[in-house]
Structure 1
Amino acid sequence: MPTPDFILDLRRFVGTRPLPLVGVTAVVVRDGNVLLGRRSDNGHLTPVTGIVDPGEEPADAAARETLEEAGVVCRVERLAWVHQIPRVTYPNGDQSDYLDLVFRCSWVSGEPYPADGEMTEVGWYDARSLPELELPDMRRRIEYALRDEAVARFEGGR
């Protein structure tokens, strides 16, 4: 997965030190199914995820990433969960702290396919019998997005 130019620019100043970033997870729903893809970088099955570009609205980022990665147009319905992901250290030593915003989205059009190479396969999975997901918080992201709650969940608040 190519690193966005704005992150490469920031890395010139901060080196490998932790970089705070905002990420999005788009849980796209269609007729009781959830859109999942197998990531090309680590082979994990996940909903669509991505980084919010500078000045971009997070909901717009979720819709953009869904189209870019899976070739699917979606409508962002609501924010489902806000949480901090444990620090990520990449093989090159770069560290990132992601604040992840999980959005429930609905399918509008398009049949899923690995559009930009960030995923090796993409498809619809029955939300009631999801396969095992390698990253435990991915299941929580999906569960929170599928709930019929009008409010978003937040971690912490101590």
Structure 2
Amino acid sequence: MPIPDFIVDLRRLVGTRPLSLVGVTAVVVRGDELLLGRRSDNGALTPVTGIVDPGEEPADAAVREAEEEAGVRIRADRLAWVHQIPRIVYDNGDQADYLDLTFRCSWISGEPFPVDGEMTEVGWYPLAELDALPLDDDMRARVAHALAEAPARFEQRD
């Protein structure tokens, strides 16, 4: 998976210590279909995800990531969920804590295909078959929050 240049620069300074980063998830809907892709690093089926660049608006990051990863133009319609992902430790020892901002998005144009190598396949899946799809619990929750017609949700721990 390509590492953004700003993270490469930070890693030179902090080594493998935890970085607090902001990530986005773009849950893209086209009619009664959901855009999902298979990640090239672990084979998981997920919506489009990515890291917000310094100074970038999160909704713009979701739009950018959809074009970079899946070749589709989308519109970020609303923020659906804000939550902290448990710390990730990568194979090289790098640690990251991601605050994920999940957006409900609408498809505008383009047929999906793997653009930048972050996904091995990408395509439309029927919403009616969502329960049968092999999504992990966190990704399933992101999709569910984005599909719900409810105000944005945030996590709060006691």
TM range (shorter): over 0.9
- Which runs of 5 or more residues in structure 2 are unaligned? none
Displacement of 1:32 in angstroms is: 1.2
> How many residues are matched?
156
Match of 1:136 in 2: 137
**What TM-score results when the alignment is normalised by the length of structure 1?**
0.97
* Deviation string, structure 1 residues 5-55 (Cα, Å, up to 9, x no partner): 100110111110100000000000001111000001111000000000000
Secondary structure at the counterpart of residue 129 of structure 2: coil
Match of 2:124 in 1: 124
Q: How does 1:56-135 map to 2 (within 5 A)?
A: 56-130=56-130, 131-133=133-135, 135=136
Counterpart Cα distance in 2 of 1:113 and 1:7 = 26
Displacement of 1:2 in angstroms is: 1.2
Secondary structure at the counterpart of residue 13 of structure 1: helix
Match of 1:8 in 2: 8
**What TM-score results when the alignment is normalised by the length of structure 2?**
0.97
- Percent pairwise identity: 72
Counterpart Cα distance in 2 of 1:126 and 1:23 = 26
One-letter identity of the residue aligned with 2:19: L
**Deviating runs (4+, > 2 A) in structure 1?**
none
Displacement of 1:128 in angstroms is: 2.3
Secondary structure at the counterpart of residue 29 of structure 2: strand
